[in-house]
Amino acid sequence: MKRISKILHLLAFMPVIFVNDLKSQTQQTDTTKRVDIKAVDILRQQKAADLRRSPFAADGIDMQPLRMQNLDLNRVLDRLPGIRVRQNGGLGSEASYTIHGLTGNAIRFFVDGVPINNLGSAFGPGSIPSNSLERIEVYKGVTPIELGSDALGGAINLVTRQDLQNNLEFSYAAGSFNTHRATLSSYFSSKNKKLFAQLNGFINSSDNNYEVWGPGVAIAGSDGRIIENIRFKRFNDDYKSVGAKVSIGLRELAWADLLSIGLYASGSDRGIQTGRTMAFVYGAVRYDDRFMMPNIRYVKRNLAGGKLDVDIFAGINSLRGTTTDTSSNKFNWAGNVIDPNVQGELNGIRAQKSIYQFNDRNIQSRVNANYRFSEHLQMRLAYNGTWARREGADELGVAEWTIALREPQYMNKNIVGAAVESNNKNKTFQQILSFRALHYKAESVAYQYSGNSQRELVPISSDDLLWGGSYAARWIPATNWALKLSAENSIRLPEGVELFGDGTTILNSPNLQPEQSQNLNASVHRRFVFDDNLSLETSGNYFFRNTKNLIWLGEGDLFGTARYENLEKIRSQGFEVEARLNIRERFFWTLSSTYQDVRNRQRLAPSGAPNVVFNDRLRNMPYFFANSEFRLQSIRAGKSKYLSAYLNTQYIEKFYFGWPSLGNQATNAYVPRQFIQDAGTAVTFENLGLTVGLDCYNLFNQQIYDNYLLQKPGRFLSIKITYHLSNPF
């Protein structure tokens, strides 16, 4: 197996040696292959390429070639340079995202510009199907003000399909661990194209009963001694979710280019298998939520003599989540009851049975305006407002950990931004200068000792007005060259889950302070065009982050829970490189690697004593990783059959999940070095509108980890069938 792994490693990382052979072969088969790309495909690919050429440190991913894979978006994002996606388990598990050393909610997610953190857990990136997306926009550092966010480390915008022709598409995928995923996408418009209706829906389910072993996974033998290195199947980790985005509206009217009324709706249900580490195993804890958000959007372009564009969005959402912890049994990893007389499983010896339910109410509005003074100068204005309120209740009312969460808590955020964009006459120099004002007000509570021996609820209030700004520029000194520079002083306000907790294993943290960071990106891009059929794009990027009050999820405590906390000063710097080889728009090879040095720069501990972990690498943070992919796309396999295939490999250097200075370097706990391969193929029967895809993730069944040695699934095999019907109505 190791020999096969090495062969695949070489194939994925060194396909350039086959370029000349592939080039000659493809030239000889011109008569049997499509050489023309439809105009719509060219335009779609151009949008993703334009983003990479913008002044921002950004990537654009065209999702059309990836729709036929049984591929969740976390895998797509994890293959990009500078980005690491870390999950706590299988389908539906919590995931954290890191861009250039900044992590968690410092990375903002959007669906068509709408913040995803307000759309319920079922609309997480790991659940949204690839079929429903047109492209993914990734910003590493400075973000456009029209997203209207307080992103600190970057933003990821998921752009849904904008099909303007009647169509119906259905897909179904089945895979290991009893995993099933189904999607439905459809678009209908009237004969004059003015009235339309659109639906994107999905259903996901998985038992997630993969094997786990190693650190934290152990049972006691009959003699009371701990037995390790036994493999067990996860048994309370099942996941189900359903979600839909529906919209109906009007297009291309005299008074509106777009007026739509829509609805986001979702629900999820899952078992809670572990605490923040695998040392805590739960056998009956459950979580479910239900979400709904009606919304309206209005777009009008070319007002004021063709110079002004306006885009307005507003929505009201409701999220209800319930954590049920009523078991009298304590379980081990074998799924056996080892104590039938406990009072719930969460919080260890502090456990008390609970049925905790929270209700979130959220009002969100977004206004974007763009005014063009001339072909070379334009101004953008943006406003984003969020009003959130949480109320909680515990049906049993005895669990101490829910006391603070039962009190009403609220948070209001208002963000106003302005940006000026200019180009020179030949558009070889483009720059964007922007400013943001951020107002944040929150009321929360803490359950703590307050100057005496009795614990009590203590109200916590926050009210801040902060300012940020950014500059981004791109210069094209010669054909196929580009130099880019971006810098910002960015602010991020705490999110609801960070302040209020998640109702399961994350406790509330009402004393959090906003994050602030000075960010810098400098990059060079070079494109080599050898002929019409062969090109190579290369890029190198240096990044620097100086962050105060970094908000991150602290290490789990002795009871399996954790809470978000501020780290006073963190510095991150590093570089990323990438190469993209394109042969006749059919053969693609991508290679990227990232090195990030993220260190604790707080010299003094809160007590005033020297900080013993000063200048340590940030714990639980990978510092070197690389990806490579070799892809064959739409190769003709018959008169109406096309073949696609890919091989992806990923390398992650080992990293400590504790502070290195607090343990012996030889024995300190670490996440081991990982080398993982994925492979797949798909056949499209164009005359039938049918595609059949086969995928295998973690090809050699490696033991892979992310956060605090939380083990992820082993080998995953799946088959996916996609049926597309044009003009069915």
pLDDT 10s digits, 589-627 = 999 999 999 999 988 876 778 888 899 998 888 999 999
74 has a pLDDT exceeding 70? yes
For 349, the token pair is 């010896």
Averaged pLDDT for residues 218-241:
86
* SS3 category, 593: strand
Q: Which helix (H) or strand (E) segment is 305 a member of?
A: helix 303-306
Q: Return the higher-pLDDT residue of 104 and 414.
A: 414
Q: Which domains does the chain have, with CATH numbers?
A: 2-447+456-726 (2.40.170.20)
In the block, which residue shows the tokens 């305006």?
Answer: 369
Ramachandran angles phi, psi of 537, nearest 5°: -105, 130
Is beta strand 562-583 parallel, antiparallel or unpaired with respect to 641-652?
unpaired
229 contacts 214 by C-beta, under 8 angstroms = yes
pLDDT 10s digits, 317-332 = 999 999 999 999 999 9
Reported pTM? 0.86
The rounded distance, in Å, linking the Cα atoms of 448 and 445 is 9
The rounded distance, in Å, linking the Cα atoms of 684 and 636 is 9
The upper half-sphere exposure of residue 76, i.e. CA atoms within 13 Å in the direction of its Cβ, equals 28
134 contacts 162 by C-beta, under 8 angstroms = yes
Write the single-letter amino acid at 674: Q
Q: Return the higher-pLDDT residue of 467 and 448.
A: 467
Ramachandran angles phi, psi of 374, nearest 5°: -160, -175
Region of poorest pLDDT, from 129-133, 423-427, 654-658: 129-133
Q: Return the higher-pLDDT residue of 727 and 47.
A: 727
pLDDT 10s digits, 287-308 = 999 999 999 999 999 999 999 9
The rounded distance, in Å, linking the Cα atoms of 308 and 288 is 44
For 719, the token pair is 């088959």
285 contacts 325 by C-beta, under 8 angstroms = yes
> CA geometry: angle at 328 spanning 324 and 330, to 5°?
95
For 621, the token pair is 């943070």
pLDDT 10s digits, 514-540 = 889 999 999 999 999 998 889 999 999
CA 643 to chain centre: 29
pLDDT 10s digits, 388-434 = 898 888 888 777 777 877 888 888 999 999 999 999 988 899 999 99
384 contacts 365 by C-beta, under 8 angstroms = yes
Residue 554 DSSP one-character state:
P
Within 10 A of 123 (CB to CB), how many other CB atoms are there?
26
Q: Strands across the sheet with 58-62, in order?
A: 58-62, 133-139, 154-160, 107-111, 114-115
Q: Is the dihedral of CA 23, 25, 26, 27 positive or negative?
A: positive
The rounded distance, in Å, linking the Cα atoms of 356 and 390 is 13
For 204, the token pair is 């996901």
